[in-house]
Structure 1
């Protein structure tokens, strides 16, 4: 019998590898034009139900309220798709375009000196980001600088694509870890005073810890704060956002790689340290997203879960005392 699922996976992988060959052969200007063309098709030609336009628009309204008009919301979503397709192009080109010899030509750095101290302190560091900018570039740079990490990511359903992305993340010395079922591996890395890289901006379900993200409670994984507190780890909330193109001066894309906040878990003196640290890194992610909202992945349902509201029992009115007969 034909295994139709594996046949589909092989076909998807064939299409992807064909795209890889095309993108690697394109000059940068043409690859940007390709990304914009694909974004135009996704945004303007396909049914909006398929592209989750309603989800993205509602997320932007929740985040920015009256700051954005409906026209600005639509333009932000279109630019988000351009960004995502450009990110795919950059991931494909990255092993050839970014190396130790040109790091400072590709990246502008905005980080405190304390970050280097933390990475060399012998204590574990959790590099935390969100679906913002090109998070794969940020992780690769740490590998090129000699700071290998355990990169935590969700395994792709397609095993061939999953293997390709694992090899991509490992090419600068990192080790891939499965998000689902990989908690023991994460703990083992932290116990060895190693470093972890992960994304911390997805909905954590009803059992997650609710902290404010753009002013609205969002379910967030508390395991990040628990790991940091138990193993005295630093949390670096970082990002790599794309800067405006200048192909006359730059041979490739230009990024700003920044550390929005460096959190030292040993300095937390709150009565609720897990809640305090979780709110700190969530606020830091929000501040980073505000710099370039079009580079954030607005189509995932960040506010999907809602806090449980305990229903108050209605007090029964007390019966009036009976009047005694005269």
Structure 2
């Protein structure tokens, strides 16, 4: 890239960063209950004006719930966009909230289930999906008295990215780029840690994904979390989220595997996807339907 283009991009990124910080200053002093008043306007913008990925969402719902009526799927789609707007506002507000406040709103009901493993100096893996407010899962470190590590996908504007990481890393949690997850497991193999992984993404770049039946479709899945669990023999738990009320989530940790090194290939992944599917079926509006989850088809596997 020519020097003048690099300089222009840097200036654009800096301007976007300063504008973002000004917006956060406004949000910091605005109660969440007032921010929710913006949600209908955001919904109108996304759903009616921008029509943000509506075709993708509609297709996903048709294939996932073929027995539902068109009216039922339409209701889920509208509910999803409204939920997405609420979560967006919650997540942005979360960057300005004290960690104790977020921990009250994203509360783990049974953290004691991990204690027997910590007493034996065994690290654990907590997996979850893009369900309800996954952004607040960084408060995992507030509920667990051991070093917590979470993987994230960096955004292109490194000024904003670095600032958000700083905001998110106040809850006894170390955030690492997702491509460094394996390296982090090796680095911390002699420590007692809790690794938080969101594991329902499309497995981009995976040459040999594991296939499961998920929401009535053959679905390619990430193998990384399972492979790391098997390699290090770290117990795996699923974080099941339940919205208690608007902006308040109860999290229940469900055991998936106590001895991953003894499991068959695909066993942990299938259990995780099954548990996530159960949560989605109970509350389909709460999953991230805009994600191109089924981009990879079995006959197009690279």
Identify the TM-score tier after normalising by the shorter chain: 0.7 to 0.9
Measured after TM superposition, the shift of residue 97 of structure 1 is 4.7
Quickly say closer, same or farther: Cα 1:201–1:236, change in 2 above 3 A.
same
Aligned partners of 2:103 and 2:142 also within 8 Å: no
Greater displacement, 274-283 / 285-294: 285-294
Which shifted more, 125-134 or 286-295?
A: 286-295
Match of 1:278 in 2: 269
Given candidates 256, 261, 264, the residue that maps to 1:263 is 256
Q: Deviations over 1:120-144 (max 9, x none)?
A: 4421111111111112323314335
Change (3 A) 1:112 1:167: closer
More helix by share: 2
CA distance in 1, matches of 2:78, 2:213: 26
> Which digits, 9 at most, give the CA deviation of each residue in 1:137-161, with x for residues without a partner?
2331433542331111111111012
Cα distance in 2 for partners of 1:91, 1:309 equals: 35
1:39 to 2:30 alignment: no
The whole-number CA distance in structure 1 between the counterparts of 2:150 and 2:103 is: 21
Going from structure 1 to structure 2, the CA distance change for 1:114 and 1:182 (only over 3 Å counts) comes to: closer
Which of residues 282, 287, 294 is equivalent to 1:291?
282
Match of 2:219 in 1: 218
Task: Please give the per-residue CA displacement for 1:3-50, whole angstroms capped at 9, x wherever unaligned.
Answer: 23223322332332232122222233321111221122110122x3xx
**Residue ranges of structure 1 left out of the alignment (5+ in a row):** 246-252, 311-326
Q: 1:214 to 1:117 in 2, by over 3 A?
A: farther
- Is the contact made by 2:197 and 2:225 (CA closer than 8 Å) also made in structure 1? no
Q: How many residues align?
A: 295
Greater Cα offset, 157-166 or 175-184? 175-184
Gaps of at least 5 residues in structure 2 are none
- In the alignment, the residues of structure 2 paired with residue 89 and residue 140 of structure 1 have an alpha-carbon distance, to the nearest angstrom, of 17
> For the residues of structure 2 that align with 1:190 and 1:60, how far apart are their CA atoms?
41
Matched, 1:89 2:89: yes
**Alpha-carbon distance in structure 2 between the residues aligned to 1:202 and 1:225:** 14
TM-score (norm. length: structure 2): 0.85
Q: TM-score with structure 1 length normalisation?
A: 0.80
Q: Cα deviations across residues 251-287 of structure 1 (Å, max 9, x unaligned)?
A: xx3212122x3122417755xx121111111111112
* Cα distance in 2, alignment partners of residues 111 and 287 from structure 1: 20
For the pair shown, which has the larger CA radius of gyration, 1 or 2? 1
**1:16-35 maps to which residues of 2 (within 5 A)?**
16-35=20-39
Q: What is the CA RMSD across the aligned residues, in angstroms?
A: 2.7
The superposition leaves residues 189-245 of structure 1 with CA deviations (integer Å, 9 ceiling, x where unpaired) of 245342211110011145211112123221111121111112111111114443334
Answer yes or no: is the 8 Å Cα contact 1:123–1:233 preserved in 2. yes
The correspondence for 2:17, drawn from 13, 20, 23, is: 13
Q: Deviations over 1:87-141 (max 9, x none)?
A: 233234336655548955x456554853443454421111111111112323314
* Secondary structure in structure 2 of the residue aligned to 1:180: helix
